[in-house]
Amino acid sequence: MKNNDFDELFEGLNFDIEEPHSGHKERFFKKLEKRSSVPQKKGKVRRLWAPVIGIAASFLLAFFLLGEFIGPQSTTKNSDLASISPEMKQTQEFYTGMITKELNAIEAEKTPETEAIINDAMLQMEKLEKEYQDLRKDLVNSGQDNRVIHAMIQNFQQRIDLLNNVLTQIENIKTLKNQNHENNII
């Protein structure tokens, strides 16, 4: 590009080449001081947040430290087969489902003739439940010992066996009752 082309390029533009008014420098520095005072206010706000964040961090730290001391007591409530592994959770759900099903079947068969057997079975179920609660505590204290886990599963099996025996006895009573009525009718 030649100088003539360069001059033609800037010829149509209006550049302000005048000198600023007197006192311009002082006015400019005053504006700068005003603007620089605004970040100081933000700094005060930030200085207020520092203790608040420190206090919140202290509370969180105290919460986690106390959780270590309180935690083992709360895990006693949640310590059962389901807390060990997903497979043990399925096992527990299976056994509790079976026990519930058997209990419902026994309740449906409750008659004056079977009431004594059912009441005795419920007392035995309460004993087995107390044993299970003791096993839950042992599970926490033993650190999930396999022997305790096996004992818990056996406890479930004993409950189901007990309920199956009661249902068998109820069926026997019903059969005897039906045979006696058949003999009396004839």
Average pLDDT, the chain: 78
Q: How confident is the model at residue 186 (pLDDT cuts 50, 70, 90)?
A: very low
Tens digits of residue pLDDT in 137-152: 888 888 888 898 899 8
Assess whether pLDDT exceeds 90 at residue 24: no
Identify whether residues 42 and 106 lie together within a single domain: no
Taking the CB of residue 164, how many other CB atoms lie within 10 A of it? 13
pLDDT for 35-59, tens place per residue? Answer: 877 545 555 555 666 677 777 777 6
Residue from 109, 128, 126 nearest 118 by CA: 109
Instruction: Give the chain's largest Cα–Cα span.
Output: 137
Report yes or no on 123 lying in a domain.
yes
Give yes or no: residues 74 and 91 share one domain: no
This prediction's pTM: 0.55
Do 73 and 100 reside in the same domain of the chain? no
Number of domains in the chain: 2
Are 126 and 139 members of one domain? yes
pLDDT digits (tens, 9 = 90+) for 165-178: 999 998 998 888 77
Contact status, residue 135 vs residue 155, Cβ threshold 8 Å? yes
88 lies in the same domain as 166: yes
**What pLDDT shows up at residue 157?**
93
Amino acid 161: pLDDT? 93
- The arithmetic mean of pLDDT across residues 5-33, rounded, is 77
More confident residue, 12 or 124: 124
Q: Where are the alpha helices (DSSP H) in the chain?
A: 3-11, 24-78, 86-108, 115-142, 146-185
Boundaries of domain holding 50: 32-78
Residue 164 lies in a domain: yes
Within a domain: 14: no
